[in-house]
Every structure is written in structure tokens, then in C-alpha cells.
Amino acid sequence: EAAEKGGYEHFMLKEIYEQPKAIKDTMGCRISEDGSHVQFEELNWTTEDVTSIGKIMITACGTAYHAGLLAKYFIEKLARIPVEVDIASEYRYRNPLTDSKTLCIVISQSGETIDTLAALKEAKRLGARSLAITNVVGSSISREADQVAYTWAGPEIAVASTKAYTTQLVTLLLLALYMGRLNGTLTADEESRILHDLTAVPDVCRKIFDCADEIKAMCSSFEGKEDVFFIGRSMDYGLAMEGALKLKEISYIHAESYAGGELKHGTLSLIEEGVPVIALATQKDVEEKMISNIKEVKARDAYVIGVVQEGDTEVRKTVDTLITVPASDNFVVPIMAIIPLQLLSYYIAVSRGNDVDKPRNLAKSVTVE
């Protein structure tokens, strides 16, 4: 097993560090050589294949569900197709409004999660077209779906998902760009501009690893803390949900994620002196609003860790400490911004002496209901 860990103390850490390669492999030949456009050969859709979609229904569990939440922003903003995202175990039992004009996208690292597989079968029964995004070739979900787009993350062993998540985001962003071009909502310039930043990710995200020691040192702020809040707006809200899940899964600290604007409707009552708040503020279009939310929790003496893009000048004035991620397009930055949160959760879990790769009560793949 030590050999399989390739010198890392845990599979999770190894898999975090494998992300640059996993992301590169997932982009692979899905981007034209000149970097100008997406070419999804395995899908080979026509304009009609996209314009005939009335609605997209995304369903998944756990971390894959969180990838789906971000995909809603990607697809609705870039391809202007309405997207619903539902937890697979909810979708199945709610008599969903799905028909032949629905494209059902299921996301699953393992391709074996029973609730996701059952949701896919239900969508098909109702007449939907289906597309699976999965990491395991030949898995049950890949066989059941009409079409498959694989994430090329390689085997993921640690229970807490890391590289599967970032490669799901890459695949979903490529899909959104592909659909946006086919249905004419996206300009060629916008597509190549986003792709320019996306193709840079495998190299520039390594800068985050240079800050690993700083992130590790932040663990001391979590000593003795049993409640942590993650806040964010827009795509950072989806990211906040995944950040909180990572922390809960392996550190066993209670973590909640909130949309910045929702704080005042309840959660603010839980903020008191020294409560750690991780404020995701990478999305430029909502930065000013996020700063107001940070001020709201600072006024209650929370300890705020801000996550910003390189070059930030404003958020840093309002927080206690800062995590910086490489500057990039708004759609691309979440793919990088989750990495420091994965590292932070990892180091906190290690500092608590937890079994990081096999957290209590959890399984890598849930094949029972």
C-alpha cells in the first residue's frame, strides 16, 4: 500500500496533488489544437441535438451533486438552457417533470451509486435522453446511459473525493461551452477566451501547492472549534457546499455552507467571537456584495479566512487571513479554488488524528439504498 501511495502519507493527499494531470487528461483532445473550440467527439452532437433540449435535469449524490450545482451556472450562463439539479435519492421519488425534451445528465465518480443509477433509469423510463459523466469505464451507469463523457481522473481511492470533482467540473464546463456554441448563444471569442484560461489550469494551479505550508499553518485556527461556516455567492456558493462537505467528511467538524445573502435570514445568530468563517470571494461580479457579507460576520467577531483571486485588493482589507488562488476567468476559477479547501480539510483531519482515507461511517461507493 505504501508503494501505491507514491510517497504520500495518504491517498487523499496523493490524489489532491494528481489534479493537474487529471485535469489535463480530462481536457485531452476535447479542445481543438489551436485552443479555439471544444470538440466532444464522443458526443458528436448537431445543432438540432442541442436546440431540441427543453430542459436539462442533473442528478447525482454527494460531491458529484455539488459538481452538478456548478454545472447549472455553467450551462445556464453559457448555453442559456434551463437546468434543474436534484439529489438522486430525491429525484426518484418526486414524480419529476421529465419527458422526451429533457436531457438527463447523471454524474458519478464510481458509476455504481445505486441512487444515481435508479434516477437514471427513472429518467429514461419517462422518455429523457441521457448522458453519464463518470470516471469508471464500463461501470453500471456508463452502460445504462445513452451516451458517456468520461472524466479521466484515474483511480480515486480516498473516500473523500478530490480529483474526481475537479475533473467533473472540467467536463461540465466543456459541455456547457460545446452546447453554447452549437445553439449559437456563445460567441467564438468568449469560447476561446474561457478555453485559454482553462487550458492554463494544469500549470497555474501548481502555485496553490506552493502555499501548502501556509494552509497547513491555518489549522491552528481550528483547534477546539466544532462549528465552521462557509459562505459564498454565485458559483462560490456551490463551492462553499463542497468545501463544507470535505471538512465534515474527514475532520468531523460541523460545517455549514450558506449563500452570502442568506446569512441575515438565520445563520448570523450562530456567529460569535472566534467562529471560523471561510469566505469564498473569487467571483468578481458579486465581490462587492460578498464584502458586505464578510463585514456582517466580522462585526460579530468571527475569524474570517478569505479565498480570493490573485490581484485582489479589496477583500483582503476585510478578512483575518487570506488564501489566494491564481487569477482566472470566473467559470474556471472554481476548478482551482476548491484545491486549497481540500488541503485545509486534509491538514485539519490529520491534526485531529483521524483516519483520513477511510473516515468513520462513510464508504467510497454506496451500492445499497
* Residue 114 binds ligand G6P (CB under 6 A): no
Residue whose beta carbon is closest to ligand G6P: 62
* Residue 267 binds ligand G6P (CB under 6 A): no
* Residue 216 binds ligand G6P (CB under 6 A): no
Pick the catalytic residue from 55, 124, 284, 364: 364
The distance of closest approach from Cβ of residue 356 to ligand G6P in the complex, given in angstroms and rounded to an integer, is: 13
* Residue 243 binds ligand G6P (CB under 6 A): no
Q: Which of 31, 57, 61, 194 is in the footprint of ligand G6P by CB under 6 A?
A: 61
The distance of closest approach from Cβ of residue 116 to ligand G6P in the complex, given in angstroms and rounded to an integer, is: 5
Is the CB of 62 or the CB of 243 nearer to ligand G6P? 62
The distance of closest approach from Cβ of residue 314 to ligand G6P in the complex, given in angstroms and rounded to an integer, is: 34
Is the CB of 176 or the CB of 241 nearer to ligand G6P? 241
* Residue 161 binds ligand G6P (CB under 6 A): yes
Beta-bridge mates of residue 229: 256, 277
Which position has the grid cell 426518484?
92
Is the CB of 89 or the CB of 102 nearer to ligand G6P? 89
Q: Which three cell numbers stand for residue 259?
A: 449563500
* Distance separating alpha carbons of residues 279 and 229, to the nearest angstrom: 8
Query: 101-121 burial, b if ≥16 CB within 10 A, otherwise e?
Result: ebbbbbbbbbbbbbbbbbbbe
* Distance separating alpha carbons of residues 248 and 368, to the nearest angstrom: 22
Stretch that binds ligand G6P, among 191-199, 228-236, 294-302, 358-366 (CB under 6 A): 358-366
* Residue 64 binds ligand G6P (CB under 6 A): yes
* Residue 89 binds ligand G6P (CB under 6 A): no
The distance of closest approach from Cβ of residue 323 to ligand G6P in the complex, given in angstroms and rounded to an integer, is: 23
Q: Which three cell numbers stand for residue 302?
A: 468571527
The answer to whether the beta carbons of residues 192 and 221 sit under 8 Å apart is: no
Q: Which of 59, 98, 102, 109 is in the footprint of ligand G6P by CB under 6 A?
A: 109
Q: Which of 19, 26, 113, 166 is in the footprint of ligand G6P by CB under 6 A?
A: 113
The distance of closest approach from Cβ of residue 340 to ligand G6P in the complex, given in angstroms and rounded to an integer, is: 19
* Residue 62 binds ligand G6P (CB under 6 A): yes
Binding to ligand G6P, residues 319-338 (CB under 6 A) = none
Asked if 364 is an active-site residue, the reply is: yes
Q: Which three cell numbers stand for residue 331?
A: 467559470
Query: Looking at this protein, which amino acid is placed at residue 323?
Result: I
The distance of closest approach from Cβ of residue 18 to ligand G6P in the complex, given in angstroms and rounded to an integer, is: 16
Q: Which three cell numbers stand for residue 260?
A: 452570502
Phi/psi zone of residue 114: left (φ > 0), alpha (ψ -120 to 50 degrees), beta? alpha
* Distance separating alpha carbons of residues 259 and 238, to the nearest angstrom: 9
* Residue 116 binds ligand G6P (CB under 6 A): yes
Query: Looking at this protein, which amino acid is placed at residue 194?
Result: I
Q: How many residues bind ligand G6P (CB under 6 A)?
A: 15
Is the CB of 299 or the CB of 362 nearer to ligand G6P? 362
* Distance separating alpha carbons of residues 213 and 201, to the nearest angstrom: 21
End-to-end distance of the chain based on CA atoms, in angstroms? Answer: 30
* Residue 108 binds ligand G6P (CB under 6 A): yes
DSSP string, 74-122: HHHHHH---EEEEEHHHHTTS-----TTEEEEEEESSS--HHHHHHHHH
Interacting residues of 1 by C-beta distance below 8 A, sequence separation 6+: none
Nearest to 238 by CA among 303, 149, 173: 173
The distance of closest approach from Cβ of residue 109 to ligand G6P in the complex, given in angstroms and rounded to an integer, is: 3
Active-site residue set: 364
For binding to ligand G6P (CB under 6 A), which residues are involved?
A: 61-64, 108-110, 113, 116, 159, 161, 362, 364-366
